[in-house]
Structure 1
Amino acid sequence: MSMVNIFTSFLPHLLYSQFFVTPQYPTTDCTGKTIIVTGANVGLGMEAARHYARLNVEKLIIACRSTEKGEAAKRDIEASTKRSGVVEVWQLDLQSYDSVKAFAKRAESLKRLDAIVENAGISTREYQSVAGNESTVTTNVVSTFLLALLMLPKLRESGRNFNITPTLTIVASEVHFLTAFPERKASSIFGALNSPKEARMGDRYFVSKLLEVLVCREIAREHPVEKTKVTINFVNPGWCHSQLMREMDTAPIRVLQKIFCRTTEVGSRTLVHAGLASPETHGKYLSDCKTMPCAPLVEGKGGLETQKRVWQELSEILNGIEPGVTKVLDA
Structure 2
Amino acid sequence: MGGFLSFCYRQLTVKPKPLPSNTSLKGKTALITGANSGLGLEAAKQLATHHVSRLILTVRDAEKGEAARTSILEKTPNTNVEIWTLDHEFYDSIVAFQQRVSTLDRLDYALLNAGVKKMEYSTAQTGHETNVQINHIGTSAVSFAVLRALRKTAHQLNAPTRLTIVSSEGHFWIPFHERKAETILERMDDKATFGHQMQRYYTTKLLNVLWTRNLASKVPAEEVVINTVNPGFCYSGLHRHESTGIIKIFLWAFGWTSAQGGHCLVDALVQHDGSHGKYLSDQKETAPSAFVLSEEGKTAETRIWDETIALLQKEVPGVNMSPFV
Q: Give the structure-2-normalised TM-score.
A: 0.93
Show the counterpart of 2:19. 26
Show the counterpart of 1:295. 289
Distance 1:266 1:278 in 2: 18
Q: Comparing 156-165 with 34-43, which one deviates more in the overlay?
A: 156-165
Which residue identity does 2:172 align to in structure 1? F
Q: 2:274 is paired with a residue of what secondary structure? A: helix
Show the counterpart of 1:3. none
1:205 to 201, 219, 222: 201
Aligned residues: 320
Q: Comparing 54-63 with 300-309, which one deviates more in the overlay?
A: 300-309
Per the TM alignment, residue 217 of structure 1 is displaced from its structure 2 partner at its CA by: 1.1
Which residue identity does 2:66 align to in structure 1? E
Once the two structures are superposed, the pairs formed by residues 6-21 of structure 1 within 5 Å of their partners are 9-21=2-14
Distance 1:110 1:221, change over 3 A: closer
- Tell whether the 8 Å contact from 2:34 to 2:57 is kept in structure 1 after alignment: yes
Unmatched runs of 5 consecutive residues or more in structure 1? 1-7
Q: 1:281 is paired with a residue of what secondary structure? A: coil
Show the counterpart of 2:170. 175
Distance 1:165 1:256, change over 3 A: same
| Aligned alpha-carbon RMSD (Å) | 1.8
Per the TM alignment, residue 190 of structure 1 is displaced from its structure 2 partner at its CA by: 0.8
Distance 1:201 1:303, change over 3 A: same
Once the two structures are superposed, the pairs formed by residues 252-291 of structure 1 within 5 Å of their partners are 252-278=246-272, 280-291=274-285
- Tell whether the 8 Å contact from 2:231 to 2:265 is kept in structure 1 after alignment: yes
The structure whose residues are more often helix, as a share, is 1
- Tell whether the 8 Å contact from 2:58 to 2:84 is kept in structure 1 after alignment: yes
Distance 1:237 1:324 in 2: 28
Distance 1:71 1:219 in 2: 32
- Tell whether the 8 Å contact from 1:237 to 1:268 is kept in structure 2 after alignment: yes
Show the counterpart of 2:181. 186
2:214 to 203, 218, 226: 218
Per the TM alignment, residue 135 of structure 1 is displaced from its structure 2 partner at its CA by: 1.2
Q: 2:114 is paired with a residue of what secondary structure? A: coil
1:99 to 93, 104, 129: 93
2:322 to 315, 322, 327: 327
- Tell whether the 8 Å contact from 1:78 to 1:84 is kept in structure 2 after alignment: yes
Per the TM alignment, residue 250 of structure 1 is displaced from its structure 2 partner at its CA by: 3.6
Q: 2:32 is paired with a residue of what secondary structure? A: strand
Q: Give the structure-1-normalised TM-score.
A: 0.92
Per the TM alignment, residue 95 of structure 1 is displaced from its structure 2 partner at its CA by: 0.6
Q: Comparing 53-62 with 297-306, which one deviates more in the overlay?
A: 297-306
Q: Structure 1 residue runs of 4+, over 6 Å off? A: none
Matched-pair identity in %: 37
Distance 1:100 1:74, change over 3 A: same
